[in-house]
């Protein structure tokens, strides 16, 4: 039994109870069967991995920021997998979203960063045109606008317009894509300029890229030189070898490295971002824009500490309050006298420090410790003392910052390292150490201690 094309849909697929023919729509049944088949495959470890690779590869080929299987945006088939293209179309048609638990999507590298194909697909509806443009993108091995712009984020690199790949390799695996013909590359240049540029290769003012805002392990390309704002260090990564220097002479757009402070590293900090080498020791840097703080208060003190830069968190996150004594907050609000003691140690296999804060009668209200800090081969007890002293003073400053109180209590600090006390006295009298320099990290530690003691 059949029906003609003018037969009402309700009559075709409606149930017999309501006078319909009760015919099942084959397209809908096929969609259900495909989803059920995928579900059964996802329950098995081996096949689950293969399905995830297929979905992830499809996402990578399309180069868009939104998940293809869980979006309502119009879908144009410019990818090369006919099965996945048809499956995605079926999901769109039936308004079905498949959300995967573990799914990688392009991470914006800089402020105003976008996926190139996101912008192109908004302004281009031709399937053939999108296939040709995507072939150019795959050949160049790029996904984000930040991968084709200059260090200042204002220009599109000339090599991208001249069908030449970046000298900096991508962190992703790419398909073997042949270079397109001359007409396709002309179309690529034209559409790039039309979508992103105001004139020539200058990016429109509202689309120009700002500072870097992704973590070092999320970078889309294997940049050689990086800078950590938290540690104020420059890193040179070549293969598995990582070398660091202290940064100096920081200006608005440039920064230099202190060649005498060269050191080997095992990893790069999460906050490190790319910088461009201008000459032997000078680098171009795009400063991080300081965002305006919101009024949202962290739920607890430990949450507030965990939001701090990594080096601060490592120093002060290990603390324990004495619930049987007055709180530190009560002492600060009452301007009570506080006693603080710290000690650092270094053995053949480890280093670290400890501290406590007590009331005038000797009752301990908070105690804490800091873990290994620095390279063990270059650590010694004197530097451990510096970090232990920095830890408790940084903690009390952070504590007051969280509870929004001013530190007006008289604080007496105890330390068993005479050399450290004498050096701190010298630094208080002469903050710029005009009588002689010493290790820059220790100088920064003393400077922070001085700022805490004299807010």
Q: How confident is the model at residue 168 (pLDDT cuts 50, 70, 90)?
A: very high
d(CA 52, CA 216): 25
The pLDDT of residue 455: 46
Phi-psi bin for 186: left (phi > 0), alpha (psi -120 to 50), beta? alpha
Third-level CATH fold of 301-453: Nucleotidyltransferase; domain 5 (3.30.420)
CA angle at 112 for the pair 106 and 116, rounded to the nearest 5°: 50
Residue 433 has pLDDT above 60, yes or no: no
pLDDT tens, residue by residue, 367-381: 988 765 555 455 566
**What's the pLDDT at 348?**
60
User: Which pLDDT score, from 0 to 100, does residue 376 have?
Assistant: 47
CA–CA distance, 432 with 435 (Å, rounded to integer): 9
Under 8 Å between Cβ of 317 and 302: yes
Q: What is the pLDDT of residue 346?
A: 63
Contacts 24+ apart (CB under 8 A), 184-189: 184/132, 184/133, 184/135, 184/136, 185/136, 187/129, 187/132, 187/133, 188/132, 188/133, 188/136, 188/163, 189/161
pLDDT above 90 (res 448): no
252 pLDDT band, cuts 50/70/90, is confident
Binning pLDDT at 50, 70 and 90, where does residue 148 land? very high
**Which one, of 65, 393, 13, 397, lies nearest residue 220 by Cα?**
65
Span 174-190, mean pLDDT? Answer: 94
Query: What DSSP assignment string belongs to 218-283?
Result: G-SB--SEEEETTTTEEEEEETTEEEEEEEES--SSEEEEEEEEEEEES---TT-EE-EE-SSSEE
Residue with tokens 């088939």: 77
Q: What is the pLDDT of residue 293?
A: 42
Q: Where are the domains of the chain?
A: 26-93, 116-207, 223-284, 301-453
pLDDT digits (tens, 9 = 90+) for 183-224: 999 999 999 999 999 888 899 989 899 989 888 989 999 999
- String of DSSP letters for 12-56: HHS-GGGT---PPPHHHHHHHHHHHHHHHHHTSHHHHHHHHHHHH
pLDDT of residue 58 exceeding 50: yes
Mean pLDDT, the chain, whole residue set: 84
Q: How confident is the model at residue 408 (pLDDT cuts 50, 70, 90)?
A: confident
Whats the size of the chain, residue-wise? 455
Residue range 28-40: mean pLDDT, rounded = 90
Q: The sheet that has 364-370: what strands, in order across it?
A: 319-321, 364-370, 351-359, 338-346, 411-414
- The whole-number pLDDT of residue 415 equals 79
Q: With cut-offs at 50, 70 and 90, classify the pLDDT of residue 305.
A: confident
The per-residue pLDDT for 292 is 43
Cα 15 → chain centroid: 54
At a CB cut-off of 8 Å and minimum separation 6, what does 91 contact?
31, 69, 97, 98
Lowest mean pLDDT segment, chosen from 31-40, 289-298, 397-406: 289-298
> pLDDT at position 432, please?
54
DSSP state, 107? P
Q: H-type helices in 115-203, by residue range?
A: 116-123, 127-140, 158-161, 182-196
By C-alpha distance, which of 17, 24, 25, 20 is closest to 8? Answer: 20
**Percent of the residues in the chain that have a pLDDT greater than 70, as a whole number:** 85
Quote the strand ranges of 374-434, DSSP E: 411-414
Are 305 and 298 spatial neighbours (Cβ–Cβ below 8 Å)?
A: no
Residue 364, SS3 per DSSP: strand
Distance CA 220, CA 151 (A): 15
Q: Which residues contact 336 (CB under 8 A, 6 or more apart)?
A: 326, 330, 359, 360, 409
Percent of residues, the chain, with pLDDT higher than 90? 39
Sequence-distant contacts of 290-295: CB under 8 A, at least 24 apart: none
Give pTM, 2 decimals.
Answer: 0.62
- Count CB atoms within 10 A of the CB of residue 174: 15
């Amino acid at each position: 039994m059949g029906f003609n094309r003018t037969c009402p849909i309700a009559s075709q697929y409606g149930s017999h109870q309501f006078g319909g023919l009760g015919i099942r729509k084959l397209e809908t049944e096929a969609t259900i069967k495909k989803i059920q088949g995928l579900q059964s495959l996802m329950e098995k470890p081996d096949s689950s991995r293969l399905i995830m690779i297929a979905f992830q590869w499809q996402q990578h080929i399309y180069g868009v920021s939104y998940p293809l299987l869980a979006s309502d945006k119009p879908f144009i088939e410019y990818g090369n997998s006919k099965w996945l293209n048809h499956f995605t179309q079926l999901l769109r048609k039936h308004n079905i979203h498949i959300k995967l638990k573990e799914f990688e999507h392009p991470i914006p590298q800089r402020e105003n960063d976008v996926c190139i194909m996101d912008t192109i697909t908004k302004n281009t509806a031709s399937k053939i045109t999108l296939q040709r443009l995507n072939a150019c993108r795959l050949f160049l091995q790029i996904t984000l606008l930040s991968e084709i712009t200059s260090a200042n984020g204002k220009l599109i690199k000339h090599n991208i317009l001249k069908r030449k790949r970046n000298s900096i390799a991508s962190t992703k695996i790419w398909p073997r894509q042949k270079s397109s013909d001359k007409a396709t590359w002309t179309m690529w240049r034209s559409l790039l300029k039309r979508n992103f540029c105001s004139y020539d290769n200058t990016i429109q003012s509202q689309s120009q890229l700002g500072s870097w805002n992704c973590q070092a392990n999320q970078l889309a390309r294997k940049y050689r030189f990086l800078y950590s704002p938290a540690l104020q260090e420059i890193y040179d990564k070549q293969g598995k070898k990582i070398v660091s220097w202290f940064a100096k002479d920081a200006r608005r757009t440039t920064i230099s490295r202190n060649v005498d402070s060269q050191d080997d590293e095992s990893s790069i900090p999460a906050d490190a971002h790319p910088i461009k080498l201008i000459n032997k020791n000078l680098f171009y840097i795009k400063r991080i824009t300081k965002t305006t703080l919101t009024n949202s208060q962290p739920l607890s003190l430990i949450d507030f500490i965990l939001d701090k830069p990594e080096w601060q968190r490592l120093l002060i996150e290990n603390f324990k309050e004495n619930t049987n004594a007055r709180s530190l907050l009560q002492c600060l609000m009452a301007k009570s006298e506080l006693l603080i003691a710290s000690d650092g140690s270094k053995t053949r296999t480890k280093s670290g420090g400890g501290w406590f804060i007590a009331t005038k009668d000797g009752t301990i209200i908070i105690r804490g410790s800091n873990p290994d800090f620095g390279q063990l081969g270059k650590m010694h007890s004197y530097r451990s003392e510096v970090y232990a002293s920095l830890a408790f003073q940084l903690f009390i400053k952070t504590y007051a910052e969280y509870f929004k109180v001013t530190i007006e209590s008289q604080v007496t600090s105890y330390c068993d390292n005479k050399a450290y006390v004498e050096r701190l006295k010298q630094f208080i009298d002469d903050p710029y150490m005009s009588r002689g320099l010493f290790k820059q990290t220790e100088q920064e530690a003393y400077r922070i201690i001085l700022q805490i003691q004299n807010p």
